[in-house]
Amino acid sequence: MKKLLIAATMALTFAGAAFAEEPSKATPAAAPAVSAPAAQGAPAAAAPAAGAVQKSDVAAPAAPAKPAEKKAELKTNKAITLTLFGIIIAITMGVVVWAASKTKTAADFYAAGGGITGTQNGWAIAGDYMSAASFLGISGLISLYGYDGFMYSVGWLVAYITVLLIVAEPCRNAGKYTLGDILSFRTSPKPVRAFAAISTVAVSTFYLTAQMVGAGKLMALLIGIPYKTSIIGVGVLMVGYVVFGGMTATTWVQIIKAGLLMSGAFLLSIMVMAKAGFNPIGFFDIIVSSPDIQDHVSKMVLKDGVVLAGMDAGQRFLEPGLYMKNPLDQISLGMALVFGTAGMPHILMRFFTVPTAQAARKSVIIAMFIIGGFYVLTTLLGFGAAINLTPQSIKAVDAGGNMATLMLAQKLGADVAPILGDLFLAFLCAVAFATILAVVSGLVLAASAAIAHDIYVNVIKDGHADQHEQVFAARVTSFIVGACGIIIGIAAEKQNVAHLVALAFAVASSGNLPVVVLSLFWRKFNTAGVISGLVVGTIASIALVMVSPNMTYPKVVAEGAKKVVVALEKKQAALPPGATLDAKDAKALAKAREDAQQTGTSMMGLDKPLFTLKNPGIISIPLGFMAAILGALAFPNRRSEEMFDEVYVRQNTGIGIAKAVDH
């Protein structure tokens, strides 16, 4: 009966999405940049896409297109695309049915019984980390800003060195299922678990909302499925993966997604290099000498006010400073990425799925190689898009550049055969869809584990719950978290959620990581330190983001629009008698005049940002560490100090950890 229920639910979901009426023939007002790890990533890609996050993150206003330029839309072959979507859903649902039969205990649900191998977990971590923002957003940034776009991917890759050297093995040995397990071992369990659960749910919700909004807009843009239908479809699928299959199903969905993503990126990269004769030096020579890239850079005003042209402009595309003009902002973002990844709850959970500490280390190393290879490929795709499509045509479809990779796939495939272009585009759209499903499933599982395991089982039930009750609580909680994700995603349709990815990584780096590191490695750390670090790090990071440039400031928008109005009116006045601005400039002038009338303040009641950096890491991370240290020193606890030796032995040897279940 369970298998029939799973199959029927997913079939109805996909059927409803596939045959929904197209909302409009017009290009959606915004194109998604779905964030990120992992990692994800998302923070980097989304920021730019929104005109502001990373990023992971999420939607950037589409550039106004001339009425005659019908090609300023990315059209997919709907039949081929939906067929590939159906195949991916069918495969993953088969995995869920298989996993459901193996999910009997709480250990099975939360950690796949510890039966995932290091290699499998490495691929799953990569799948959890490489979000659609990484795939679409990073390559899009590179296609528009060159070197600066590449720097986003460097931060995510370096982050895994932190994970490998600091948290992977100790967390696997000292924890069980959640962040609360790690922090509560030598502290007062109930308050620590409660605060850890709140932090976990906050981070997961911020990141999940960005992913859901991006998913809805991506589906609406590419295949015409209405936004709400897309959100409901993605939501029902992710709930099905988690509720029925738990960590086992989520792990294999992430492995499948990572394999598909690497395959698509590798094939497209080969096609890009083939165009350049497989000559890396010649490839970058083409970039520097491209008239379109030179023209694109020449229209950018650099920080020092210099305007470049010709070969100088082309060379600057391969140098820093086109997008990230403030070095301090880049440092702050890098800190959030490097430290935030190690504090992300859904990444920490992955280390509890392997049977040994050695497997945990192996999984991180494998993930680093996969993720590193992926970012090398996205770099080729970004520069390849700039060469083969031109930055101008990319911006005509989406001002944030998020469609660059998909446009490149369609063009290079069509150069071989028209049907191949449609097929390749449909495949990458399906991969992006699978990417979203994998990431949101991991987030839902992390949030539900915090609520069910930490709050219900260990705080409310005081640890006295049998396996059946624990699994039931986990499934009910997963359903509720997933349903809330759907509701929030629908409600946020018209909102700029770019700042949510910045929030997710800021809270993870400023609140979660300091208390995890100090709990594992500092003898004097205690309950007061955990609560102080979580509260101060979380509040500081959220507060700084809320008064940063990530938010919308109507008066600032109006000031910028007035400058555009003045410039275009001067241009109009310089035209010959009877002549008018072209359609693009006329549309820009009308929009600028409308924006110039904006009044009011940001949601925090501010006229302009109080904090000028887009990411608060450079301030909030030190604050989190300082608060945790001062809190522990102000309220010392002898029991916590005495138990440190046991924690130290556990994290280095794995003694006392539950053995893996044989699957």
Please tell me the predicted confidence (pLDDT) of residue 1.
Answer: 40
pLDDT band at 30 (very low <50, low <70, confident <90, very high): very low
Mean pLDDT of 648-658: 70
According to the model, what pLDDT value does residue 306 have?
63
Mean pLDDT of the chain: 81
Helix (H, G, I), strand (E, B) or coil at 122: helix
> Strand, coil or helix: what is 40?
strand
When pLDDT is cut at 50, 70 and 90, the band that residue 556 belongs to is: confident
Output phi, psi for 640, to 5 deg.
-65, -40
pLDDT class of 633 with cuts at 50, 70, 90: very high
Higher local confidence (pLDDT), 147 or 550: 147
- Report residue 171's pLDDT band, with 50, 70 and 90 as the boundaries: confident
What was the pLDDT predicted at 25?
A: 33
pLDDT at site 218: 79
Mean pLDDT of 168-188: 82
pLDDT beyond 90 at 272: yes
Strongest mean pLDDT among 15-24, 238-247, 326-335, 594-603 = 238-247
Cis peptide preceding 38, ω within 30 of 0: yes
Query: Which pLDDT belongs to residue 72?
Result: 59
Q: For residues 478-496, give the mean pLDDT.
A: 86
Please give the pLDDT value at position 303.
Answer: 59
| Per-residue pLDDT reduced to its tens digit, 598-610 | 888 887 888 888 8
Residue 207 in this model has a pLDDT that exceeds 70: yes
Residue 523 one-letter amino acid: R
Higher pLDDT, 10 or 590: 590
* Phi, psi (degrees; rounded to nearest 5) at 641: -65, -40
| Phi/psi at 656 (5° precision) | 95, -10
Q: Per-residue DSSP letters for 517-543?
A: HHHHH-TT--HHHHHHHHHHHHHHHHH
| pLDDT reported for residue 548 | 87
> Looking at residues 443-457, what average pLDDT do you find?
90
Residue 525 contacts residue 632 (beta carbons within 8 Å)? yes
- Report residue 613's pLDDT band, with 50, 70 and 90 as the boundaries: confident
Domains of the chain: 2-494 (1.20.1730)
Least confident of 36-45, 312-321, 366-375: 36-45
> How confident is the model at residue 527, as a pLDDT?
94
Among 132-136, 372-376, 429-433, the range scoring the smallest mean pLDDT is 132-136
The DSSP symbol for 60 reads: E
Average pLDDT estimate for 390-407: 87
More confident of the two residues 219 and 242: 242
Q: Crossing angle for the helix pair 513-521 and 617-634, nearest 10 degrees?
A: 40
In this predicted structure, the answer to whether residue 658 has a pLDDT above a threshold of 70 is: no
Higher pLDDT, 459 or 53: 459
Enter the tokens of residue 78.
């709907």
549 pLDDT higher than 80 = yes
Residue 151 scores a pLDDT above 70: yes
What is the mean predicted confidence (pLDDT) over 417-426? 89
| Span of 53-67, 285-299, 561-575 with lowest mean pLDDT | 53-67
Quick check: 271 pLDDT over 50? yes
Return the higher-pLDDT residue of 436 and 37: 436
Confidence of residue 496 (pLDDT cuts 50, 70, 90): low
Q: Indicate the residue type of 572.
A: Q
pLDDT-based confidence at 384, cuts 50/70/90?
very high
Rounded distance between C-alpha atoms, residue 261 and residue 130, angstroms: 9
